[in-house]
């Protein structure tokens, strides 16, 4: 495995339940996320991640969800400035969307790629820019974890147990150590944790 020295960092961000799941049995039901996602600690956490990133790496489903919603926040009455800041960054930044089905990207500053996730990540590392931020795309993050391509693992942990649904960390991941880069706790017991991969 390469040491990734002198190259761009791959940073992944995901919200998890206390029992390690990123969704319940109904993946469309995000009700369990909402009270925690709008806390100061969650908003500040996301802000620190995008401020050092110049590329967003997304799976198609997440791209459609994120890019369908976030641009509508810009200029919205009563929008939190941190939400508007993230929305503007998402519109303005370079986006790489992994898809085998889309013929052309319906969004500006977007490149569609139909290649294995780890290969795309390795290619992006060799380009100029800041962090490569993977936003809540579970399939992308799982593939990057399996290939040991994650340099910074950012998690918000919400104090709910979902009982069923997919987990972020599958069996068979490469063994490895991580160091805690930052931690914060906020309203409703929301935790924001950032770990850096020890290589």
Tell whether 3 is covered by a domain.
no
Tell whether 4 is covered by a domain.
no
CATH number of the domain enclosing 119: 3.40.430.10
Residues facing 192 on adjacent strands: 156, 184
Mean pLDDT over 102-112 rounds to: 93
Tell whether 2 is covered by a domain.
no
Given a cut of 80, whether residue 31 has pLDDT beyond it is yes
Given a cut of 70, whether residue 165 has pLDDT beyond it is yes
Tell whether 53 is covered by a domain.
yes
Higher per-residue pLDDT: 28 or 182: 182
Mean pLDDT over 36-56 rounds to: 96
Provide the whole-model pTM: 0.93
Given a cut of 90, whether residue 5 has pLDDT beyond it is no
pLDDT of residue 145: 97
DSSP one-letter string for 66-101: HHHHGGGGTT-TT--HHHHHHHHHHHHSEEEEE-SS
Those residues whose C-beta lies under 8 Å from the C-beta of residue 81, and which sit 6 or more positions away, are none
Tell whether 1 is covered by a domain.
no
Torsion, Cα 169 112 2 170, to 10 degrees, reads 10
Q: How many domains does the chain have?
A: 1
| Mean of pLDDT over the chain | 94
Tell whether 148 is covered by a domain.
yes
Domain region containing 186: 10-197
Tell whether 137 is covered by a domain.
yes
Those residues whose C-beta lies under 8 Å from the C-beta of residue 112, and which sit 6 or more positions away, are 97, 99, 102, 104, 105
Residues 119-145: tens digit of each pLDDT: 999 999 999 999 999 999 999 999 999
Tell whether 5 is covered by a domain.
no
């Amino acid at each position: 495995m390469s040491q990734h020295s002198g190259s761009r960092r791959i940073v992944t961000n995901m919200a998890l339940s206390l029992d390690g799941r990123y969704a319940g049995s109904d993946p469309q039901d995000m009700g369990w996320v909402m009270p925690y996602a709008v806390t100061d600690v969650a908003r500040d956490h996301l802000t620190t991640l995008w401020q050092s990133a110049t590329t967003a790496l997304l799976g198609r489903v997440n791209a459609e969800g994120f890019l369908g919603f976030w641009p509508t926040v810009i200029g919205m009455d009563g929008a939190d400035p941190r939400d508007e800041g993230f929305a503007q960054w998402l519109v303005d930044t370079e986006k790489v969307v992994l898809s085998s089905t889309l013929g052309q990207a319906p969004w500006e500053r977007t490149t569609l790629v139909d290649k294995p996730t780890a290969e795309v990540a390795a290619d992006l590392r060799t380009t100029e820019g800041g962090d490569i931020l993977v936003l809540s795309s579970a399939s992308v993050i799982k593939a990057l974890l399996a290939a040991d391509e994650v340099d910074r693992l950012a998690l918000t942990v919400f104090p709910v147990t979902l009982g069923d649904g997919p987990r972020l960390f599958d069996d068979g991941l490469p063994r490895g150590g991580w160091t805690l880069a930052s931690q914060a706790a906020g309203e409703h017991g929301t935790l924001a944790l950032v770990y850096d991969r020890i290589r």
